[in-house]
């Protein structure tokens, strides 16, 4: 009896957990409260694997992502400005206290 020439590699535990994490993260992202695609976690789990890829690679999804980023920046802009004002006031306070 002759032993086969080669042992075919199997998926490592590290790869296994990376795969698991990537799908769970994707399902969570799709079902998150402020997600671009509105669905429940169970609905996300029932999606075909290629649908997941299609959604993430689609132009409309990328545009939605950009639009959401822009909206977030608009929301953040007044807060940023307020932060600047607070920093300025602090500096004024410090300058006055040195006198």
Partner 1 sequence: MLLIPQVQLPHANYQLRELTIGEAIGLVKLNPLAHEQTISQFLGYVLEDYDSRTLTAQERYLLVAQYISATCLGEADFAIGDDAKYSDYLRMNTPLSLEPIDLGFEEQWQLLPLFGWQAEALEDVCKTWQDWIFGAIAAQLAKKDELENNQLPTIDTPTAEYKDYLKERMTIFKAYPEREFERLYYAFLGGMQALNWYFDIGFDNEGIVCLHKEGQGHAPARFQVSDCLTQTAISFA
Interface ranges with partner 1 (CB under 8 A): 1, 3-8, 10-11, 13, 15-16, 18-20, 22-24, 26-27, 42, 44-53, 56-57
Give the residue carrying structure tokens 């042992």: 7
Shortest spacing between CB 22 and partner 1, in angstroms: 5
Query: Closer CB to partner 1, residue 13 or residue 95?
Result: 13
Return d(Cα 8, Cα 58) in angstroms, integer: 36
Question: Side-chain half-sphere of 3: how many Cα atoms within 13 Å?
Answer: 3
Query: Closer CB to partner 1, residue 59 or residue 97?
Result: 59
Shortest spacing between CB 23 and partner 1, in angstroms: 5
Shortest spacing between CB 70 and partner 1, in angstroms: 25
Helix axes 13-31, 49-57, angle to 10 degrees: 60
Tell me the two tokens of residue 11.
């998926």
Query: Closer CB to partner 1, residue 22 or residue 38?
Result: 22
Give the residue carrying structure tokens 């992202």: 29
């Amino acid at each position: 009896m002759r032993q086969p020439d080669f042992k075919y590699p199997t998926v490592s535990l590290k790869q296994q957990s990376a795969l698991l994490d990537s799908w769970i993260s994707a399902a969570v992202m799709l079902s998150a409260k402020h997600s671009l695609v509105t669905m429940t976690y169970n609905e996300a789990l029932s999606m075909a694997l290629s649908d997941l890829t299609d959604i993430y690679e689609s132009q409309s999804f990328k545009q939605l992502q950009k639009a959401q980023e822009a909206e977030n920046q608009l929301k953040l802009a007044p807060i940023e400005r307020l932060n600047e004002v607070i920093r300025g006031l602090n500096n004024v306070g410090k300058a006055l206290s040195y006198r």
